[in-house]
Amino acid sequence: MMAKKQLLLFKYGGNAMTNQILKNQVLKNICDLKEKGYNVVIVHGGGPFIKQTLEEANIASEFIDGQRKTTPEAMEYVEMALKGKVNGSLISLINAMNHKAVGVSGKDGKTVIAKKRLHKHILNGKTEMVDLGQVGDVEIVNTALIELLLENDFIPVITCLASDKNGNDYNINGDLFAGHIAGALSAEQYIILTDVDGLLLDKDNPASIIRELKVAEINQLKEKKIIQGGMIPKMDSCEIALKKGAKLARIINGTIPEQLSALFENQKMGTIITA
């Protein structure tokens, strides 16, 4: 019986995705890790592409506390952007590097069952539940399809769409979606590629990077506003991943692809979060 390969799950998105040269380098580095004997899974969102697709279709977007409200009409285009544009282009690039990538969403093989997300919005001190339309949360993860692909030497490239038990489709925050999958697969490392070097104590000072962090410290850092904005769902996703079974989570700068190849040579890379 061969020893099971260690699994690395990459959450890929943001600016590291919009620049074609960078995209090539990032994927090349991820493929290199596969060649070194790791199993790799890529989970991606695609905010900039959703925005562009909706604009081209003349569909107005409404944001509530930074979350895009998704109407049934918008949902069709969200799926088109994520599954058609983004997922399709990642698959082509990886295949051209002599690997075998397979593009799926949470809908395929019932990998993720979603539930509707109700958002708590605080207005004048009163909390109200806001309906964000077809925005969902992860309810169940079934890893059978992903494991089947990995066993047969494929690279699963998964986008953050899923259906509920009744077949209604949902768009799920890419970070939270990735965290649930990293946990369910007991990933050795859950690696979020973002456009900063990690979590900074002072967001304007790159030297103030926090190298290591325990899940228990996350809330305190949120209260101190050290974790804010787009870093909130990233940290929440690390917490989900670690609580559900991932061994270690790490936030690194995806716009510096060399950091990926250095991941296992030099541990001082980005911010490491442990349980």
pLDDT in tens, the chain (275 residues): 456 799 999 999 877 788 899 999 999 999 999 999 999 999 999 988 999 999 999 999 888 877 889 999 999 999 999 999 999 999 999 999 999 999 999 999 999 999 999 888 888 888 899 899 999 999 999 999 999 999 999 999 999 999 999 999 999 999 999 999 999 999 999 999 998 899 999 988 988 999 999 999 999 999 999 998 889 999 999 999 999 999 999 999 988 888 887 887 766 789 999 99
| Helix 20-35 / helix 88-96 crossing angle, nearest 10 deg | 60
How many structural domains compose the chain?
A: 1
Domain span at 166: 7-274
- Do residues 242 and 272 touch, judged by C-beta distance below 8 A? no
- Do residues 121 and 62 touch, judged by C-beta distance below 8 A? no
Is 2 inside a domain boundary?
A: no
The reported pLDDT for the residue numbered 266 is 62
Is 261 inside a domain boundary?
A: yes
Task: Map residue 117 onto helix, strand or coil.
Answer: strand
CATH number assigned to the domain comprising residue 218: 3.40.1160.10
The reported pLDDT for the residue numbered 3 is 63
Is 1 inside a domain boundary?
A: no
pTM: 0.94
The reported pLDDT for the residue numbered 13 is 85
Q: How far is CA 83 from its chain centroid? A: 14
Is 138 inside a domain boundary?
A: yes
Sequence-distant contacts of 45-48: CB under 8 A, at least 24 apart: 45/13, 45/82, 45/159, 45/160, 45/173, 45/174, 45/175, 45/177, 46/13, 46/17, 46/81, 46/82, 46/85, 46/86, 46/159, 46/174, 47/13, 47/14, 47/174, 48/14, 48/17, 48/18
Task: Mention every residue, 6+ apart, whose C-beta is less than 8 A from residue 207.
Answer: none
